[in-house]
Chain A
Amino acid sequence: MKREETCFNRRTNRITLVILLSFLTLLLCGCWDRIEPDFIGLVTMVAFDLDDERGLLKVYAQLPNPAGAGQQQSNGGGGSNQAMSATWTLEASGYTVFQAIKNMELQSTRRLLFTHVEVVLFSEKLARQGIRPVLDFFEREPQVRLIARPFVVQGDLQKLMESQFPLEQFGATALSKQLASVQEEAAATSDTDSLRVMMHRLTIPGWELDLPRLIVMPEEETKKKGEEKTAKQNPVLLTGLAVFRDDKLVGFFDARETAGCMWLKGAINRHYLVLQCPNGGERLTVEIYEMALQLVPWIDGSKVHFKASIFAEGRLQEFSCQELSLEEAFIASLNRRLATAIRNEASAALDKARELETDVFGLGNLLYRTRNKDWQCFEDKWKEIFPEVMVDLEIEATIRRHGLTLAPIKIR
């Protein structure tokens, strides 16, 4: 009796299981949001520009072209004249970003997906007008992620979007790699490496935004008509800062001023300085591999002062002077030269920032963070006060190592 019961139970269980499993097939036919892969165009790079004549926003999108990329690989990079390009660039305008994208889709055989955007470019023209109108697109739309890397482009935006890179197939990969390696190896560009940091900097008090600057290289003239279009030079140079006040671009820092700015932000990863030899016309190079920054504000009535103490450690990277003496006085004079060079860079950055009236160092933010009561008096007029803020530089630079050779070669 009991056994029969369990048998019966097992059977009903089995029947229920079969019914339940058959329900799963309903899910197989896909959901409402299914997209077939060959209907998707994945945008990896977007660029924003202004259409002056019509007063519209111009948006460019670059998509990797799977067919073109495959062809290039199989041809070993060279081959027929009709080689398809590895990327495809689209352009459209609209009053809003979304409208421009919808207009763009009219020219595309595939549905544009912005889930894999790696690089976001702003043209100089748009940046000078203010980037706020396009920001909401990154935050509200679930497709774009804040891990994308922002740049400001000086020069022809469209040309950059369509250009090919010697070492990379796709523009987006090329630019993000370029940014990563420049940030790693030199203090020549901004440390803003994602939309996340950009958004954050735009929203905190007393710290203006800076973005990496891309300079589009002039066209090579040697290229003849019908000649195969493989890139011989990198189409773009990554150097300097694009400096903002609020959301508007106000100017650029060159490489030297950028380094100065990085000293004052304490953000130097690796940097080099070329100095004159103590006795002679030759030059020596010091690479900085470690630094620390201490910024202390003090307030004197209605005036704000900062004391910036920079500690830097470097190693001798190149030494083409005649003699490397181990005397203390000689080393000290090298260190002094190094400190002076650093001071010059930092003051160049300070001067430029004062000229542009924009606090890219976050001095105001330091007040906001550490002396909030005082900040509340300055908050509203900080942008006007900033150019008059005094920054005392105190620099301690040491050359710690000399590399694998002690004395330079002596030719007899």
Chain B
Amino acid sequence: MFTEKIVSRQLFYLFFMMRVTIIISVLPVLTAGQARQDAWIAALISFFPAAAIVLIIGALTLVFPGKSLIQISEELLGKLPGLLLSVIYLAIFLFMAGTDLRIYAEVLKASFLPETPISVVMSLVVFTVVLAIYGGIEVLGRSADIIFPIFLLMLLGTFSPSLTHANFQNLQPVIAHGWSPLSLAILAPASIAAQYANLTMLAPALDQPQKGLKAALWSLLAATLVLVAFALAVVLVLGPDTGARSTFPVFRMIRATRISEFLERVEILTIFAWGLGLFVALSVNLYSGSKGLSQVFGLHDNRPLVLPMAVIWVVFAIQGYQDYFEVAQVFDPAFFDVIFIPTLLFPPLVLWVAYLYKKLRERKKQEIGGRK
């Protein structure tokens, strides 16, 4: 069987679209916390904690090139403890995919299709994703090549018309209440860097695994700039208050835009971009999840697992949240920063400790051996 490979450019595209989609849809810099008109500053700063998370997770792929998190933990901790540790990540992939899927389905349901059963909306998306994953990671990488320019164009189409209504007075006063109201707004987008957990599964599929972390960090930087742009646009057009009260601020902003007397209602571009981005996000999560599970079970191929996992996902996305009030709480700092982030960082930190301990012991052994 031939090996499937992607290149770091495609990895960059995948992560960029994944992060931008989720971060733009709910715009947590504005809706979580009290940053209000300073949301763009919070967005800018959020790069640093997010980059820290990416580094903690991603640097493992540099130390163990070509190995996935599951293989790394097996090697460092042994069969059973390693397996237990990997299950945490598999659960995270499931959780993130389910949440992404639910948010997208809720956007469609709240805005366009109030009567269509949510399971139909989800199943159609997931069906497409399953097809892509059956094609394999290479197919995913190449579709990222094709989708990325379209995605970028749609983003521009969403962003630029909003500028016709920009009112720069909305940005004042700048940091009127000190930095503390910003803290939550910084942490929320930073915690969504959890998506970069996928790096531990995607990096082994790179033709040069060492380049994975670099591409991931670049994608984070690019996505941060997009986030800053949209945080600005929403505040400039809607004002901080209307923006912060919105369920989907960017969506409301574009709906409130009248480019001219005859050109308005351009939100189809936004929804189009979300659809593409969600496809990418779900595909990557499904790939990571199924690949990880197949490695846990010692299977050669992840394909047999794809379809059953997809079904589980749809069920999770529907059953995991009773209503949208509950989905909104996912971005609640009490959950995200107290429960989710420690869970996310626990496995890589354990692995780092194990790795350093091993290194230390090896060095000691060498020293002892050297003395002998």
Contacts and interface: CB of A to CB of B under 8 A. Distances in A.
A and B from one complex: yes
Interface of A: 31-33, 139, 142, 145-147, 180, 194-196, 199-200, 203-204, 368-370, 372
Given A203-B239, A203-B241, A369 B115 contact: no
A33 B114 contact: yes
B31 to A, nearest CB: 14
Contacts of B256: 145-147, 194-196
Nearest to B264: A147
Interface stretch (B75-83, B165-173, B190-198, B216-224): B165-173
25 contacts: A31-B120, A32-B116, A32-B117, A33-B116, A139-B242, A139-B245, A142-B111, A145-B255, A147-B257, A147-B258, A180-B261, A194-B258, A195-B256, A196-B237, A196-B256, A199-B238, A199-B242, A200-B170, A200-B238, A200-B239, A204-B241, A368-B173, A369-B172, A370-B172, A372-B173
Contacts, number: 60
A204 B255 CA distance: 21
Chain A CB within 10 Å, residue with most, of B114, B117, B170, B241: B241
B179 to A, nearest CB: 14
Nearest to B127: A23
Interface in B242-288: 242, 245-246, 252, 255-258, 261, 264-265
Contacts of B245: 139
Give the interface size class of chain B: 20 to 34
Given A196-B165, A199-B242, A203-B239, A31 B116 contact: yes
A203 B238 CA distance: 10
B47 to A, nearest CB: 27
A194 B165 CA distance: 11
A147 B256 CA distance: 5
B163 to A, nearest CB: 14
Say whether chain A's binding surface is mostly helix, strand, loop, or mixed. Answer: helix
A370 B169 CA distance: 10
A105 B264 CA distance: 28
A201 B264 CA distance: 22
Nearest to B124: A27
A145 B238 CA distance: 13
A384 B188 CA distance: 40
Given A139-B246, A145-B265, A372-B173, 5 more contacts: A31-B113, A31-B116, A32-B120, A33-B116, A199-B238
B166 to A, nearest CB: 12
Contacts of A33: 112-116
A369 B173 CA distance: 4
A366 to B, nearest CB: 9
B339 interface: no
Contacts of B264: 147
Interface string B169-211: 1101100100000000000000000000000000000000000
Contacts of A146: 252, 255-256
B110 interface: yes
Interface in B94-117: 110-117
A295 to B, nearest CB: 12
Contacts of B165: 196
Contact of A200 (B172, B241, B255, B261): B241
B162 to A, nearest CB: 11
Given A33-B115, A369-B172, A372-B173, A200 B242 contact: yes
A238 B115 CA distance: 41
B242 A203 contact: yes
A32 B118 CA distance: 11
Chain B CB within 10 Å, residue with most, of A33, A196, A199: A196
A177 to B, nearest CB: 9
A145 B113 CA distance: 17
Contacts of B238: 196, 199-200
Nearest to A177: B261
A200 B245 CA distance: 12
Contacts of B170: 200
A204 B114 contact: no
Given A204-B239, A204-B241, A370 B117 contact: no
A368 B177 CA distance: 12
Given A145-B256, A194-B256, A32 B115 contact: yes
A335 B111 CA distance: 56
Contacts of A199: 238-239, 242
B357 to A, nearest CB: 51
Nearest to B177: A372
Contacts of A369: 169, 172-173
A147 B252 CA distance: 11
Contacts of B237: 196
A166 B262 CA distance: 22
A194 B115 CA distance: 30
Contacts of A180: 261
| Closest 9 pairs (CB-CB, A-B) | A203-B241, A369-B172, A146-B256, A200-B239, A372-B176, A32-B115, A32-B116, A372-B173, A196-B256
Contacts of A368: 173
Contacts of A31: 113, 116, 120
Contacts of B115: 32-33
Contacts of B255: 145-147
Contacts of A200: 170, 238-239, 241-242
Nearest to B173: A372
A368 B240 CA distance: 14
A142 B258 CA distance: 17
Nearest to B121: A31
A368 B246 CA distance: 23
A369 B110 CA distance: 35
Contacts of A204: 239, 241
A207 to B, nearest CB: 10
A370 B257 contact: no
A369 B176 CA distance: 9
Contacts of B246: 139
A52 B67 CA distance: 74
Contact of B110 (A139, A142, A147): A142
Contacts of A139: 242, 245-246
Contacts of A194: 256, 258
Interface in B43-61: none
A387 B165 CA distance: 32
